[in-house]
Structure 1
């Protein structure tokens, strides 16, 4: 699907072919990915349209080309709808770490509402996990659910939010703190837009260790709150992986332009700072000087997120 002759990167805002040493590094990255076990780094794919991505990575209806989109993506990353610059008076889920009772109760209600969905996939998922959804149909369980989230923290909130995110608009009402990716590039391409339009697939590294999810569900069960079977999903064929907050530029391998069949590789992979860094094994080092000012001036994001350990996340207003 990817033509090696269409592999390029960016230098001084201009596209160029890969050097031999850079091609060797790409091959090293691919070898590392196919050699890892299922609990280590894996490649994920996110399909997005030009309208979607340019809306976030530009300002004031700026008409930007593929190079500019790629450059900004490799510097800013991509962020969930929650961070989009909109006049939202949030009454719950006020920030990326909100675990207030109001937020816990709202998540409880949204999970309960999934049982009322007329979407055949959601209905089938609810019926297949009846004991899970029976818990959320009883409002007397709200206090137990809220206490569990307050005790275990934001990781428990994120576990249940991921179910809502996967359900789509009925779950999140279009204001999600997560983004969707797929383990399948073909699925990602199918979500990137219409065939005759400019569209993209973002290649990114997922550093999630699924063993931590198993430990979390064991902790949740101690509170007698139900959990779902591992790898259960509303849309199994989509092979979806829900990621919290968005995509860090430090994890982005490249931007595949479906309309030109060019894969623009993240130039930071080849910088001197990352001479000894394999993105498959470790996040890239990126100079993000003046990040907040540039985010405000060049994008439609109103806030952004950061983390020191990939577990606790913080939100900052731009």
Structure 2
């Protein structure tokens, strides 16, 4: 269907199917990465319209295809202007690095995360972040990365681990958007019990080089290579929840990479 819920013409349907087949083939070739993001309409509505209430559902989808799906950090009701860490998508300040170190330390010391932490991290990783005196060493080593871009990759590597771990507050504070290569996993993320019609899935793709658009150490070893070069501990590349096969897209799902929006309960695609 079109975004106004009218059926596609026969010609438009053929064009869409041809494009979808092309993307799927490129995904199999490893040239693009086909991704899925499960969401609830109320969450996307809040990010796209803020406190506005007088709009039609059609407007929401039109706006989603125009602006894309942004990270919660960029939502008007989430970002705090006086915050001194993760203030921008490329913020690698010492305060941001200290914040990341502290959050990693908190996760590995959280009883609820203990089993998963033991399964996915080495003793070196756990002992390093368990010792708060290593925070200065962490900041200095990331700062000594080869270039500003490699420094950013080192930051993103640990930010991905926190994001997948669901560290308290991190999914609001970070500039990442959760997606998965598995549609079933994405469908499970959009948990709506009372109103199933509120559930939908973004169908999305990113082109190579993947590390320019997203963080997923299990897809590309680029980030881990940078961290190893900095002399810092690494982790199992799928993070604490390997079955989710998460790919954390940076900033937003840009509209020109959105293939469509699946309305789960109606079994249709806009």
TM-score surpassing 0.5?
A: yes
Q: 235, 238, 253: which is aligned to 1:228? A: 235
Deviation, 1:44, is 1.0
SS for the counterpart of 2:88 is: coil
TM-fit CA distance, 1:178? 0.7
1:44–1:181 Cα contact (<8 Å) kept:
yes
User: 1:171/1:158 Cα in 2 relative to 1: closer, same or farther (>3 Å)?
Assistant: farther
For residue 25 of structure 1, the aligned residue among 6, 12, 15 is: 15
Cα gap change, 1:173 to 1:180, in 2 (>3 Å): closer
Report the Cα offset of residue 90 of structure 1.
Answer: 0.8
The aligned runs of 1:85-104 (5 Å cut-off) are 85-86=76-77, 88=80, 89-104=82-97
- After superposition, the C-alpha distances for 1:213-247 in whole angstroms (9 at most, x for unaligned) are 423322321221012233x2212222222111121
**Matches of 2:171 and 2:61 in 1, distance apart?**
29
SS at match of 1:93: coil
Decide whether the 8 Å contact of 1:111 with 1:171 is kept in 2.
Answer: no
Quick one: distance in 2 between partners of 1:101 and 1:21? 54
Distance across 2 between alignment mates of 1:15 and 1:195:
24
In structure 2, what is the Cα distance between the partners aligned to 1:39 and 1:144? 37
Cα distance in 1 for partners of 2:74, 2:131 equals: 33
Alignment partner of 1:110 is 2:117: no
Task: Please state which structure has a larger fraction of its residues in helix.
Answer: 2
Q: How many residues align?
A: 251
Aligned-residue Cα RMSD (Å) equals 2.2
Q: Structure 1: give runs of 5+ residues left out of the alignment.
A: 1-7, 265-318
Change in 2 beyond 3 A, CA 1:147/1:72: same
Instruction: Please give the TM-score of this superposition, normalised by the length of structure 2.
Output: 0.84
Give the corresponding residue for 2:177.
179
Assess if the C-alpha contact under 8 Å between 2:200 and 2:261 holds in 1: yes
Structure 2 matches for 1:47-66, cutoff 5 A?
47-66=38-57
CA change 1:118–1:208 in 2 (3 A) is farther
SS in structure 2 opposite 1:220? helix
Question: Which consecutive residues of structure 2, in runs of 5 or more, have no partner in the other structure?
Answer: 213-219
- How far 1:63 sits from its partner (Å)? 4.5
TM-score normalised by L of structure 1:
0.72
Change (3 A) 1:55 1:138: same
> What displacement does 1:207 show?
2.6
Cα distance change on mapping 1:202 and 1:92 into 2, 3 Å: same
Deviation at 1:261, TM superposition (A): 2.3
Deviation at 1:114, TM superposition (A): 0.9
> Which stretch of structure 1 is more off in the superposition, 16-25 or 95-104?
16-25
Give the ranges of 4+ consecutive aligned residues of structure 1 lying more than 6 Å apart after TM superposition. Answer: none
Moved more, 128-137 or 61-70: 61-70
